[in-house]
Every structure is written in structure tokens, then in C-alpha cells.
Structure 1
Amino acid sequence: MNVQKCGCKENRPQNSVRAGCSSCSTNPHKMPADSFKVPAVPISRPLHTSTKVNLNDNKEPCSSGLKCDLPGKKDDKKKSWSLSDFDLGRPLGKGKFGNVYLAREKESHYVVALKVLFKSQILDSEIEHQVRREVEIQCRLRHPNILRMYGYFHDEKRIYLILEYAKHGALYKLLKERGRFDEKTAAIYVRDLTRALVYCHAKKVIHRDIKPENLLIGHNWELKIADFGWSVHSPSSRRMTLCGTLDYLSPEMIEGKPHSYAVDIWSLGVLCYELLVGLPPFDAKDSSQTYRKIRYVIIKYPEFISEKAKDLMGKLLVINPEQRLPLTSVLQHPWILENAPEGAVPPPHNPEQGQHH
């Protein structure tokens, strides 16, 4: 099968590539940066708090019990955000279209992550619709396992997204430090991601790009879905666009068939395997081998994987989308119930503890 590759977003190491999508840059004509239109989303201001924090250290402000919006404030709508409202701190990450910085809102001292995107790069790569979609979707989602977007603003050259600060960074980084997770930790992350996906699907949102790089770890080591750049609001539930990361693409997507919410269920199974093993299940030397493994669901389970974990992954990684285990049933699966009972939280991570081998 010949599927066009795309470099629209940051790729994972080695053979993990983006499949062809409508976001690829095909138009050589550049558009002026001021032609970028941002979506109209209600903006509310963070709650005032006396918390003080040094923006250049790694200490997390105590956020216990804080609510980040004051929707009832009368002056909320009168005042728009601007860069002068924030003190900028250390960089948290870099991407193809901009950078993420630790920031503190001056009036409330509330600490956030400020994602700065360059309009010219967005327009050159023809992903304006993707950024608009990301903002429109994420601003409206409210779930403990979904990274909050508090609002946004823009100037002549840049777009600024005001995001919840996830202290411990990407799950991908944590996974690489540990090598792999024990079954209890992996089950807790799978449970919490499942809950977030149940919420997304109830809101008619398909994420379409679940992977460790797009999952962040909060102050209490809780999982949070972060990147909604490939997400769609899909009341019709059937999509044709081919997108996402190769290792996590479902069989129906690589074959160009219509896809629905079940693509997220497939990705959940892939993630479960990667958390337990340290590598995605269809990892191969080149993309053609990965495509083949996905298409025929060729999986090898290491001996240390429990039978119940294998059973869950086997029910998620099914070729026929309609036969994949529903998300509500995932939460009732014996592997989840035994390893991630209600109230169980992921253990803190100490990099000096060493890796699993």
C-alpha cells in the first residue's frame, strides 16, 4: 500500500511518521500572517490566589482546591488577554510551530503554560484549520484527565494558548526514563485515559492521536490528554482523513476506510502495550513492516505480560472496529479492576530508581 507521508507535526524517533493528511503543505504561495483568523471562544480569567512561584525553578504552586475560571465575573468579557498580563519563565518544550513556556498571570499569580505559535509558520504549512479546531475543541472540555485550555490571545505575529501547567511533562519522557511501567501503574494510566475518552466521545470528539507524547503528567502524577491538534468534532461519527502517528494508526485508517470513535479504542490498546513493554506493539525496522503488522494485527507479547493484560489488549486491538471492547467495558475489565481500583493513583517517579529491563 502506498500512503503518502507527512511532516506536519513533530514525529517520534525512528520509523514513527505521520501519514498523509490534508494538513500537508502543498501550496507554494505564502499568505500574510495577519490573514490568520482565530476562532471566537469565550475567554475567562484565572482565579485570584496568593500563590507565589519562581518561574525558573521546578517547584509547583499548590493548586489544591483551586478553580481556574470565574465565569460570573462581570469584567471578564471586558478585558481580553495580552502578553503583558503574564510573566514568562523557563521554556517547557519546543515544537515545529512554536514553543511552550512556564508563565504566571501577574494579577492572580496563577501559574500556567503558555504555548506560543507563529502565524507565518502555521499559514506556510496550511494547518490553520487544525489550530482553529484544536482551540475550539480544547477550550470547551472540562475533565480532570484532560489538560485545560483557559483561553487564548494573539498579536500580529503570534498566537498564545493559555494552558494548564502539567508539572511532570510528557508521559513519553517518563516512559523512556523508566523503560516500562509495572502493571498497576500502567493500568491506572489506562483507566484514567479511558475515562477521558469516554468524556470526549460523549461530547462527540474523536481524539485520533493518542500516544505518550500527547499525554502529560500533572502535579499529582495524574494523566492528562494534552494535544488536540488532530481531534475532530464529529457528530456524524464517520471520518475519512488519514492522520495520526504511524505506530498508533488503526487498520481502517491505514486502509483509507471511514473511521469513527473506535480509532481511539484501538490507540488505547496500543498505548497499553507500550506502557507495559516500552515499545509499541507494531514497532518494526521500516514503515512497510509496521503497516503489515497493523493490517494483520501481528503482535508478540513478552513473557512478563500477565494473561489478563493480554486479554484486555486482545479485545482492544481488533481489526473490525465494531468488535472492539467498548470503553465502558474497559473500565470493568478484570485487569483494570484488580490493578487500578477506584482511588488508586500512580506512584511518584524517581529517575534514580533505575529502569525496568
Structure 2
Amino acid sequence: MRGIFTVALRARQKLGKYRIEKRLSEGGFATVYQAFDTIEGLRVALKIPHSQQIDEQLLKDFRNEVRLAARLEHPNILPLKDASIIDDHFVIALPLGERTLADRLQKRVSLKTSMSLAEQILDALAYAHQQRIIHCDVKPENMVLFDGNTLRLADFGIAKVALKTVRGSGTGTIGYMAPEQAMGKPSQRSDVFSAGLIIYRMLSGVWPEWPYEWPPLGIKKLRTKVHPEFVEFLKKAIEPNPRNRFRDCIHMRNAFQRQKFKVLTYAERRRSKTA
């Protein structure tokens, strides 16, 4: 294929129908820009892989993954608006959110908001698992927040191709992935593990770290906030042995829904006792 530009895009630079406004982030695989769609009249996020990552095999992989991702129609999954080559740049266009969950976690998150976000994460993953699709890179950076704390899980397919390209295998992101995924054997139970880590972080304020021995740091704060049965729910989600976890995020989501009301009423009772 033809050569790909290596220079960073500048503000007000045109890329097909898109006008670049600013750079939002940069990772090992791609740079993300905020841009204005001059045809549709709205702002979008453009994910543009680094030039050295692009080859014919990557494009073939992307075509397959984009077709796979196009099957996912769910309010908590970020849709792909476009994936094409524009002016020798490979461009992935996505709806533009307000920030990522990683950004949101820089500040305190209330119990009610944490439970709402957790439910949206599990709804998205449960739907994907129903379609027999594993995300393989569930992390706060891949969760985009929109107005009203609506969460959309991003990078289905894109994450998988990016990980293979950058790391040489489809393992995942260190700090978020399950032990068996680090060994090259991801499954739906691996997405369960990553989701469990994120929910634990939202509620306790602490990331569990390898070797993931129970109880992890932050357990005292967690136990003061949620019902004991929900602590057991999280323990099952982040079990190092995948056989001891929820089978998939369908089962995890169903268990979460049984616990949600209990968690919120438990917190309300504790507040009324200390008032």
C-alpha cells in the first residue's frame, strides 16, 4: 500500500470531511483527536493509528473486526461511525463523549453513581457475551462517558487488533487483565475479572494488584459501604482461578441486579443510623 504520513495532525487541518480541532490523547497504537464533521455538523473523535502500525495484514484484521463490531447495537456500546483511509491516514471515527471513566475516577464517585456505572458496564459486556464476543481489553480508558453519566464501552475489535499490533499478542493491558489472559488464554471469564476490578476500584478507591490475593487493599472501606453479600460478589468476580468466577458477564450482570437494591438500601440504613 502507499506510504502513510508520519506527522501529527494540526488544529484546523482538514482530513476529508473532518476538520481537526485538538489532540485528545496518544497511546502506543494510535492518537485520538477531536474533530468537526463538516458534513453532518457535529464533533467526533478520530482514532488514527500510528503510521508504523499500518500494513496490509492490519487493514485485513480491521475489516474483519469492524464487521464484527457493527453487529453490536446496544446503548452502552460505543458505535463505529466510520473506518476508512482518508488522505493516506487510516481513520476510525467515533461519537465524541465528555470524558473517559479513567478521567472520572480521578475524583470521588458516589455509591449511587458507582452502581449505575457498574450496571452499564455489565449490561454492555453481557450483551457482547450473548453475541459470543470477548472484549479482551476492559479498562476505564475504553469507557466513554456522555451527558447524564451514560457509559459506553469502546474499542470492540479495535482493542484486539491494537493489542496484537503493539504487543505481539492479544493479551490485554497490564493491571486490568486476568491471570489466564496474561498467559494467552482469554475467555469470557477474563472480561468478568476486568469488570470486577473496575467495580472494586470505583467502590473502594483502590486498584487490586497482582497476585490478587484476598482480601486486597481497600477492603475495609469497601465493607463500610456495601452489603456483605456484595463483597462476596466482587470476591467471586476477581478470583484468580477462572473456574471460580462467574461463567460470563451474563451471569455476573444477573447476580449484580439481584444485589443492587440490597446495596443501596444497606447504605441508606447505615446513613440513617449515624445521622
TM-score (ref. length: structure 2): 0.75
**One-letter amino acid matched to 1:174:** R
Alignment of 1:93-242 (within 5 A): 93-118=25-50, 120-123=51-54, 131-132=62-63, 134-155=65-86, 157-166=88-97, 168-176=98-106, 178=107, 180-228=108-156, 229-231=158-160
Equivalent position to 2:176, from 244, 248, 254: 248
Equivalent position to 1:304, from 199, 221, 226: 221
Equivalent position to 1:277, from 190, 199, 204: 204
- State the identity as a percent: 26
Distance 1:302 1:100, change over 3 A: same
Once the two structures are superposed, residues 94-118 of structure 1 have per-residue CA deviations (whole angstroms, 9 ceiling, x without a partner) of 3334432223332331332222234
Q: Is the 8 A contact 1:193 1:223 kept in 2?
A: yes
What secondary structure sits across from 1:137 in the alignment? helix
TM-score (ref. length: structure 1): 0.59
Q: Is the 8 A contact 1:194 1:331 kept in 2?
A: no
- Corresponding residue for residue 261 of structure 2: 337
What secondary structure sits across from 2:219 in the alignment? coil
Distance 1:109 1:146, change over 3 A: same
Equivalent position to 1:315, from 214, 236, 243: 236
Once the two structures are superposed, residues 247-284 of structure 1 have per-residue CA deviations (whole angstroms, 9 ceiling, x without a partner) of 12213223x363321111111111111112333111xx
- Cα drift, residue 149 of structure 1: 0.6
Q: Is the 8 A contact 1:266 1:318 kept in 2?
A: yes
- Corresponding residue for residue 16 of structure 2: 84
Q: Which structure has greater helix proportion?
A: 2
Of structures 1 and 2, the one scoring higher in RCO (CA 8 A, sep 6+) is: 1
Q: Which runs of 5+ in 1 are unaligned?
A: 1-30, 35-54, 57-81, 233-240, 283-289, 342-357
Distance 1:153 1:217, change over 3 A: same
Question: Cα RMSD over matched residues?
Answer: 3.1
Distance 1:157 1:147, change over 3 A: same
In 2, the alpha carbon distance for the partners of 1:133 and 1:272 equals 31
Once the two structures are superposed, residues 283-334 of structure 1 have per-residue CA deviations (whole angstroms, 9 ceiling, x without a partner) of xxxxxxx2xx13x556244322122431220121223424323534433434
- Corresponding residue for residue 49 of structure 1: none
Distance 1:86 1:106, change over 3 A: same
Q: Aligned residues, how many?
A: 242
Higher deviation after alignment, 144-153 or 191-200:
144-153
Distance 1:328 1:141, change over 3 A: closer
In 2, the alpha carbon distance for the partners of 1:328 and 1:280 equals 24
- Corresponding residue for residue 235 of structure 1: none
**One-letter amino acid matched to 1:171:** L
Q: Is the 8 A contact 2:20 2:34 kept in 1?
A: yes
